[in-house]
Amino acid sequence: MKLCDLTQFYSPVSGGVKRYLAEKLRFLQETSRDDEHVLIIPGERDEVIKGDRSRVYTLRSPLISRTSRYRALLRLEAVEAILERERPDLIESGDPYQIAWKAVHSGDALRIPVVGFYHSHFPEAYLRSAEKFLGRTATEFLLDFSRRYIRSLYNRFERTLVPSPALGEVPDIIDDPAIVMLWGITREMLDNWLHQGEADPNVLKGFAASSGVVEGTARVVRSVQEISKLKQGDILVCQVTNPTWAPVFQKIAAAVSDIGGSMSHAAIVAREYGLPAVVGTGRATERIPDGARIRVDGGRGVVTILQ
């Protein structure tokens, strides 16, 4: 399969999107011998960088921020020419602007399915802060317009992917036992994820999965391949666990996860071993630095970054 990612949310110093794309390429190269990856991004000059079953096309684009080094990819005819030449099996669009519309139209013309990746909640992220300048009425009008725009655009994709449950459509009441107990998704937790760190950036809240209080060294483990990083007495900080992670619990002092509820794998195994655990924190793997000293209060569902 040949996958093409297309985004202008990319710069030499950017974080989340750049990392997401790098991890995707690494996963493809480690798990498949045949899959190819094509990336189209803005850059300082026109260039093609070829790698192992990968090609990165940078298209000369004007700089819009000297600090973040982001550029506006305006040469849509060049994007179309690359798509016609590469003929990928799947196109993924990573931003909600002109590039997304080009991806949709080119996909239709070339009969290639197109999916969208909703990296951030566009209306809230960019417009909510304008209220102090525009006033509440004007801001609400712009928010309503932008939400309708987002719905119109993303409903044109074959599928829309989100990096966190907090970015999906939020119902007023979440009462599905499987969603609550396995994944830890409740209305209260979604609100917590959206506003996490505003009160105290060193405190994360999640589900109280297994009681007890432990202080120790945080070891951020993002995949089963990184389990070897763990030393006796470390505190595991991960996105989610599954049965292949079970041996880890024999050496750790506590567990913290981004995703999970009271009946998630991490919660059940932690209780079996009598280890403090806080699950469903939302972004522990992002906010807790690897090697930091933290306190895990499994009875209260609170993780504190100490140093």
Judge whether residue 164 has pLDDT over 80: no
Judge whether residue 292 has pLDDT over 60: yes
Task: Please provide residue 258's backbone torsions phi and psi, each rounded to the nearest 5 degrees.
Answer: -70, -40
Name the pLDDT band for 200 (thresholds 50, 70, 90). Answer: confident
User: Scanning the structure block, which residue is given the tokens 């880890």?
Assistant: 248
Would you say how long the chain is, in residues? 307
- Average pLDDT of 292-300? 96
| Whole-number pLDDT of residue 148 | 83
- Average pLDDT of 206-230? 91
| Whole-number pLDDT of residue 252 | 96
Name the pLDDT band for 240 (thresholds 50, 70, 90). Answer: confident
pTM score over 0.75: no
| Whole-number pLDDT of residue 128 | 56
Provide the mean pLDDT of the chain: 85
The C-alpha atoms of residue 191 and residue 195 are separated, in whole angstroms, by 6
The C-alpha atoms of residue 303 and residue 177 are separated, in whole angstroms, by 25
- Give yes or no for a contact between 296 and 303, defined as CB atoms under 8 angstroms apart: yes
**Nearest-10 Cα torsion for 94, 9, 288, 263:** -10
| Whole-number pLDDT of residue 134 | 64
Tokens at 282, concatenated: 């939302």
Name the pLDDT band for 77 (thresholds 50, 70, 90). Answer: very high
Query: All domains of the chain, ordered by start, with CATH?
Result: 2-163 (3.40.50.2000), 178-305 (3.50.30.10)
Judge whether residue 59 has pLDDT over 90: yes
Give the strands of the sheet with 235-238, arranged side by side: 203-205, 302-305, 293-297, 213-221, 235-238, 254-257, 277-279, 207-210
| Whole-number pLDDT of residue 186 | 67
Judge whether residue 67 has pLDDT over 80: no
Q: Which amino acid is at 195?
A: H
The C-alpha atoms of residue 121 and residue 123 are separated, in whole angstroms, by 6
Q: What is the pLDDT of residues 97-115, one digit of tens each?
A: 889 999 999 999 999 999 9
CA 160 to chain centre: 13
